[in-house]
Amino acid sequence: MQYPVNELFETIQGEGLYTGVPAIFLRLQGCPVGCPWCDTQHTWSKMAENAVDFGQIITKTGPDERYSELSAEAILQRIQSLGFTAKHIVITGGEPCMYDLRPLAEVLEPLGYQLQIETSGTFPILASSSTWVTVSPKVDMPGGYPVLADAMQRADEIKYPIAMEKHISAFDALLAEKPARAGAVICLQPISQRPRATELAIKVCRERNWRLSVQLHKYLAIE
C-alpha cells in the first residue's frame, strides 16, 4: 500500500478531544468532497505530475499540491529519521479514508504510536480497532458524497463545523437519520474565528453538554 503524503510534520493537536497533545500530522493527498471553507484545498487533486521525492515534501515552505508516494514502512522510517518524539499520529488530508489505513496501524501501533483519523465520514473507514476516529461530517457538499451511517457509528468523536443556526439544524437532522454510537464525544467547531460563530458554538455546547473545539493552532499561529 502506497500513501500519497502531502505533509509530515510535528506540532500540537489543535482540535477536538486531543487538543493540546503533541502530535505528528500525516497529511494525505486527494479529496473529492469539496467543502467551500476547506483550509487545505491544495490537497484536493491528486495528479501524477505532482508526485515527487519525499525530500521535496519535507522542505516545503508553503502549501502546494506536491506529494510523495510512501509505504507504511517508509513513513515510519521518515518519522524516525526526522527525530519526531510525539506518539500521537493524526492522519488527515485531504480525505484519508480514501485509502486503506490498516497497514499503517500494523506498522506503527506495535511501536507505541496512537493513531487518529480525521475524516468527513463519506468513505468507508478501513482502520484498526484501536484507531481513534474523528468524523467531521460534511453534509450537502459540492462533491455530492453522503455521510455514511457506518462512519457515524464507528466514530469515537464527532466534530461538527458550524457558523450559523442552519448548521445546527442540519446536524440535528443528520443525527436523527444517522445517529452517533453511544458514548461518542460530540464537539462543535466554529468554521471561522469570527465571534458570531464561536458564540453560537459556545451557546449550543452549554445547552447540550457537548464539547467546544476552537482550532487552537490557528490562535497560536502554528501548523
| pLDDT of amino acid 194 | 82
**Binding positions:** 12-14, 27, 31, 35, 37-40, 92, 94, 136-138
**Binding positions for Mg(2+):** 40
Extents of the domains making up the chain: 2-220
| pLDDT of amino acid 220 | 74
**Binding positions for [4Fe-4S] cluster:** 31, 35, 38
- Assign domain 2-220 to a CATH class: alpha beta
Q: Is the pTM of this model over 0.85?
A: yes
**Binding positions for S-adenosyl-L-methionine:** 37-39, 94, 136-138
- Max CA pair span of the chain: 50
Query: How do the pLDDT tens digits run along the chain, 223 residues long?
Result: 999 999 999 999 999 999 999 999 999 999 999 998 898 999 999 999 999 999 999 999 999 999 999 999 999 999 999 999 999 999 999 999 999 999 999 999 999 999 999 999 999 999 999 999 999 998 889 999 999 999 999 999 999 999 999 999 999 999 999 999 999 999 999 988 889 999 999 999 999 999 999 988 777 777 7
| pLDDT of amino acid 77 | 98
Helices 195-208, 165-177: axis angle to 10 degrees equals 40
| pLDDT of amino acid 222 | 76
**Binding positions for substrate:** 12-14, 27, 92
| Burial 66-79, CB ≥16 within 10 A → b, else e | bbbebebebbbebb
Spatial CA neighbour of 26 closest among 149, 86, 120: 86
Spatial CA neighbour of 90 closest among 98, 106, 101: 101
| pLDDT of amino acid 19 | 96
